[in-house]
Structure 1
Amino acid sequence: MEILSVLNLGDFPHTFSKLGMFPVFDVAYYIVSILYLKYEPGSVEVSRRSPVASWLCAMLYCFGSYILADIMLGSSPIDYFQHNSHIVLASAVWYLIFYCPLNLFYKCVAFLPVKLVLVALKEVVRTRKIAAGVHHAHHAYHHGFIIMVIVGYVKGSGVALISNFEQLLRGIWRPETNEILNMSFPTKASLYGAILFTLQEAHWLPVSKSTLILLFTIFMATSKVVMTARHSHGSPFTLVESWVCHLLFGSSLGGSEDDHHHAAAPSPAPKSKEELSDGTRKRKAKKAE
């Protein structure tokens, strides 16, 4: 008997887990991904100077997780590009966001109420990708639990993990945005989600996969919508991570009070990729005014 059977969700989790992602959810995923690409410094200039480089960057933002996961599992890195409908759809979104007359499409999808809906839909796709990655790795390596976690993690946050390579296509090198050194909330959540789905796949978690997909989707969508609405780049995991780091490693993410007293001139924490992008957008807005 499942622990969560008391929720009496009926067949809704199963129906939700079987819900098709194409085209509505996938379009939302492509829109938000390429929207974040346009926020990146220099991306608009690259789209004017080299549309091919801009298109390649957009494809990495949309399909980077599939490419990286295929490489790790020994498949061709261009295998996903056989899905013509997805490539055409993502290319159309890229063209509209960067080249639509009067920037109308960008203004519509960047409008906060619309953006919040799109962000929530994107997290539905992210959860499915994590679950699919773990399931795929389970078939290839039945007892390779670490491999399952890694593949699920890559499927959920592969775009961020190869962001430095994508920057090279735009002629930019910013090692301070390395996602391993400065993990954002989606990257951390993808890792924790991959662990949960691996435990479920190994039958160590007394929850059905459909129920776990539903609950994790609700958590991810709610967290991202709230963070986007508040323009926040924090993480709901910070408090727990600080306690665990202090318990296991003798340090905390935020540093203790004694550390501040003994540090003569503490250096500022490196900004995340989203914080750097926000600063660039604010400077551009001030110049426009």
Structure 2
Amino acid sequence: MRRVFLLLVFVLLPAAAAAPWAVPGTRASAESGPVSMVIEPQLDGSQFVYVVFHTLDRGGFCQPPAGAVSLHPVIDMPVDFIIEAGEGIIIETSSGGLAPGRQALGVRTFSTAVNAASGSPVRSFPPLRDGVTDECQAWVRISQSIPGPLRVLVLAPGDGGGQVGWVAEAGRETAVTVPLQFRWTLVTWSGPSTPAAQALQGVQGAQVTAVYGWDAAAQSWLAYFPAGAGVPGANTLATLEPGQAYWVAIAGPAGGSWRMPASP
């Protein structure tokens, strides 16, 4: 099954601070702002990107337990998600469905603990902090049928009014890297129809000695030998086709990798 990398964006409000954590109405990046943000790949075999907002109040709570006081309430907080650049449409939120578009405003954060105990829970994601049993989350699901850059602005209420924002780079990869083992590796070509010699330019750290592909119509093997590229009749495998499997042989025991275009 083809695997597609999905990117999750994690945002954590600070657990303790005496001063406002950002000037209302400004944008804070992961590098310059007092906000922890992590972007990591997730496997999902589909064309969807989830942008997930994770938050705890300054006391470390989503919903404070009985007798505790929330110093900065974050449960039921409205979060705005706006696609600023790149191909993609928001088709679903953690608050429910919506008319597909480039923005989802006022998506309310929910308690993961309450959600887990619900009779019909919505999708939730592992907490940003290890050991946290209840975290507030809000997310959107973006359909991105064509891989490429995707920039999403995430806005939440600020301490003194207004909003604080983060810009999340969350696009799907335009290329995939496939490991190559000595001697043979079965790979699936994910790019468009490409001449074999050109396709092999993406191989790194290894010398390809042969590529074999099965011609189902002719019930025979087709072969490409890089060393025989200039020998008439030596190569019968002219192009690599999208979605087709090929046996690849490399020289040497160290292995390597093959960087190839991602499937659309």
Bigger Rg, structure 1 or 2: 2
Give 1 or 2: higher helix fraction. Answer: 1
Q: TM-score range by the shorter chain?
A: under 0.3
TM-score normalised by length of structure 1: 0.24
TM-score after normalising by structure 2: 0.26
Q: Which has the higher contact order (CA 8 A, sep 6+)?
A: 1
When you count strand as a share of all residues, which structure comes out higher? 2
